[in-house]
Every structure is written in C-alpha cells, then in structure tokens.
Amino acid sequence: MKKDGKVVSFINMKGGVGKTTLCIGIGEYLAHYLNKRVLFIDLDPQFNTTQSLMNLFELEDEYMTNYSVKNKTVRRLFESPTTVSEMPKLPEKEDVIIDLDYNISIIAGTINLIFDDNNKSTSASRRVKKFIEENALRNEYDYIFIDCPPTISLYTDSALIASDYYLVPVKVDRYSILGIKLLDQVIERLKFDETLNIKPLGIVYTMLDNTITQKTKKIMETLESSEIVNKIGLFETKTFFVRDLMVGLGGNIASRYNSSRIDIEALCSEFMKEVEKNE
Ligand SMILES: Nc1ncnc2c1ncn2[C@@H]1O[C@H](COP(=O)(O)OP(=O)(O)OP(=O)(O)O)[C@@H](O)[C@H]1O
Ligand SMILES: [Mg+2]
C-alpha cells in the first residue's frame, strides 16, 4: 500500500541540545515498536546519526571501507557538473539509500560535506526536496527524518526546504532561547527566496534533571511565555537526562534503556498525534 510519508527536520541553531539523540530515538522506536518505515537523512557533517546507526547494525567497517569510500552518502545529492555542457543530475535511489533492515533506511552522512557548504548554486539547497519528490519517497516511508547541523548552512536550508515539519529539541539553559530565535530568523529569511511548506511540530525539552529545580523552572517559564515559543508550540512530553544514552552499551538508542524508553514511547505517541492534527 502506498504511504503518505512526512518529512521532519530535527533542528535548532544551538549545538548539543539532543537533535541527533531524539531523531534516532523517535525514528528507531517508530520503526521497531510501531512498525513504521523510517528513512533517516544525515545532513550534519558531524554525521553522528550515521555513526550511531552503523554501530547499531554493526556496519562501522562497511561504512569506512565501502559506503564512505564509494561515496554512497548524502554528498551525492549535492554534486555539481564539472563541465559547462554537463547537466546537473541527481543520483539514483540505489546510489544513496542504504537499507539497514526492513523498516530502517539511511542516506548516510559524511565529514566530506564540509567541502560542499560553499556551493553557491541556488539549486543546491533544493536537491534534497527534489530527490524525495522525484523518487516518490513519501510513498515508501512513513517518516523521513532529517538530522541537521546546528549552523546556518546549505544543509539546514536544504532540510527546511525539503520538510513538511520541524521539531526543535531544547536543553534548558540561559541561552536556550537564542537558538530558537535564530532558527526562526533562518526560516523567515528562507521564505523570501523559496516556497516553504514547513510547519512547526513543537519544542521538546531534552536532558531535564529528574528533579526540576526552581532555577530551571524559572527559565522554562520565561521560555514558555515568549512569543517565539508560543508560535512554535511545546510538546507536553518532556524528556529527561539518562546517562546511559551517553555511555551505555546499547548506544544512544532510547528504547534500549528503561527510563529513556518511557520518555520516547510517550513522545512518539504525542508526535504522531501532532502530525495527524496538522494534516
Ligand atoms: N536524554 C539524554 N540523556 C543523557 N544524555 C543525552 C540525552 N540526549 C542527548 N544526550 C547527550 O548529549 C550530547 C548531545 O546530544 P546530541 O548529540 O543528540 O545533540 P545534538 O543537538 O545533535 O548535537 P550537535 O549540535 O553537535 O549535532 C551527546 O553526548 C548525547 O549523548
Ligand atoms: Mg547532532
């Protein structure tokens, strides 16, 4: 049966807020517990999503000796012709999509993305969208999750242009509002040149302490009363700091540990309801 997949960017202009961990945590849970088909696209030159999933599927060597060397990576989407007479061409699906199991696929990231960020061709930022559309990927996957870098770059533009929704992981600290404001500016600026169809799904608190102190509460209240947070919305589900996500033998996969599984289960349920509500 044809699917009606949704493209979702995990994005914040602030680093280290849990974008990658939530992207993988939600995607893996949807795939392995709720039987959804999920395609990850790793648009971050740090390629943490790729490393983590290669680790989960014991494909780290394969990544180094095969996918990376043969450039079976997202970088293929950004290739430009090297002669004037050559037409720009998108890769075939098989050239870039790696099926990890029946429900999880990935377009792997690569550190080499750093070399393309200065690609100034205006079409470059539309390549991800074009690739998804030309290959009718929404018919094959329930969700296409894009892990974004925390920077203003060709890749964040590409992700936003390609997405139906964006989700903003936020770690509560005194600078948390800045990354959200900056993200909003990036989206507004992009709207000037591009047709964007992207809608906010909401902000998700990440790495909260189990006991939320008065000081933390105060920052949360300030955040929640800001115009920008009201515009984007806020998930009811909060996610907590679980040390194993950093150091555990199960890697940074939320479903692997009891306490993060509870968070991710609740979050997936709210996430799917939010998407449904917007359709
Ligand atoms: N709920 C959590 N509990 C404990 N540690 C977490 C949790 N979520 C994320 N972390 C850890 O915090 C760090 C940053 O998380 P993550 O890499 O997901 O953030 P990011 O926003 O993707 O960062 P970047 O901007 O560098 O891409 C990582 O070391 C990760 O393991
Ligand atoms: Mg990341």
What is the spatial distance between Cα 22 and Cα 26, in angstroms, rounded to a whole number?
6
Nearest atom (ligand 1) to Cα of 22: 18
9 lines ligand 1 (CB under 6 A): no
pLDDT tens column, 201-215: 999 999 999 999 999
Instruction: Tell the residue nearest (CA) to atom 11 of ligand 1.
Output: 246
* Residue ranges of domains in the chain: 6-278
- Select from 205, 245, 256, 262 the residue to mutate for testing ligand 1; criterion: most ligand atoms less than 8 Å from CB: 245
- For residue 150, what pLDDT band results from cuts at 50, 70 and 90? very high
57 lines ligand 1 (CB under 6 A): no
- The average pLDDT across 81-95 equals 89
- Closest ligand to the CA of 243: 1
115 or 260, higher pLDDT: 260
Nearest atom (ligand 1) to Cα of 17: 21
Nearest atom (ligand 1) to Cα of 260: 1
- The average pLDDT across 156-169 equals 98
CATH of domain 6-278: 3.40.50.300
Average pLDDT of the chain is 95
pTM score, two decimals?
A: 0.97
Distance 43 CA to ligand 2 centre (A): 9
| 30 pLDDT higher than 80 | yes
Instruction: Tell the residue nearest (CA) to atom 16 of ligand 1.
Output: 18
| 81 pLDDT higher than 90 | no
| 119 pLDDT higher than 90 | no
Distance 106 CA to ligand 1 centre (A): 20
- For residue 118, what pLDDT band results from cuts at 50, 70 and 90? confident
Q: What is the DSSP string of the chain?
A: -----EEEEE--SSSSSSHHHHHHHHHHHHHHHS---EEEEE--TT-HHHHHHHHHTT-HHHIIIIITTTT-SGGGGG---SSTTSPP-PPPHHHHEEE-SSSEEEE---GGGGGTTT---TTGGGHHHHHHHHTTGGGT-SEEEEE--SSSSHHHHHHHHH-SEEEEEEE-STTHHHHHHHHHHHHHHHHHHS----EEEEEEEESB-SS--HHHHHHHHHHHTSHHHHHH-B-S---B--THHHH-TTTT-GGGSHHHHHHHHHHHHHHHHHHHHH-
| 86 pLDDT higher than 80 | yes
- For residue 121, what pLDDT band results from cuts at 50, 70 and 90? confident
Q: How many residues does the chain have?
A: 279
pLDDT tens column, 127-149: 999 999 999 999 999 999 999 99
The reported pLDDT for the residue numbered 120 is 66
